[in-house]
Amino acid sequence: MERESDQYDPKETFEHVLMTKGKEAAAHVHGYQTEVPPVACGCPGSMAQEIKKAAPTLEGKAISGNSELSQWPIQLHLVSPLAPYFKESDLLIAADCTAFTLGSFHRDLLKGKKLIIACPKLDDTSPYIEKIAEILKNNTIFSLTVATMVVPCCSGLNHIVEKAVEMSGTNIHVKKIVIGIDGEIQS
């Protein structure tokens, strides 16, 4: 059964819900916002930013659309510590955002390596230390590189990998690469 009704007014709805149900309920009114929402968990890495770039030039740069990915799956929750592709390999553990931020990710970081991706902020990281430790114990890993973003919440991935190396009992050096939100490698 249909009936005629007034057009939805988010401000009027907000005010009605505020008066009848309170501030918390009113905050959920669709289409009306009285203030800017707080930054998630206070993390500066969640702050919206526009990245201004100069127009790209082809001078002195190779353009490659080739993927250097050599195995699947890549998400840490999904990889098996016993996957055959980890045997005698160089390993790159990268924060999820790195490949989207660094335009040359495949060419500069991934080429010749096996890849694991993870997000220390959004993933359930509780099994990560043990899983990485198992990968290191059960395989001959020639090199281990960790790529993270410059934002503070991303540094958790370095901590996870360091703990995993310690737990594994291996004596492998961890190379750390930090990528700025502008897509430049900072270290």
pLDDT in tens, 136-174: 999 999 999 999 999 999 999 999 999 999 999 999 999
Do residues 91 and 164 both lie within one domain? yes
Do residues 32 and 100 both lie within one domain? no
Where does residue 112 fall: left (phi above 0), alpha (psi -120 to 50 degrees), or beta otherwise?
left
Which range of residues forms the domain containing residue 138?
Answer: 84-179
Name the nearest CA neighbour of 157 among 165, 148, 166: 148
pLDDT bin (cut points 50, 70, 90) of residue 36 is very low
Q: How many CB atoms lie within 10 A of CB 156?
A: 18
Q: CA separation (Å) from 172 to 53, 64, 161, 165, 166?
A: 37, 32, 11, 7, 9
| Those residues with Cβ within 8 angstroms of residue 16's Cβ, 6 or more apart along the chain or in another chain | none
User: Does 57 fall in a domain?
Assistant: no
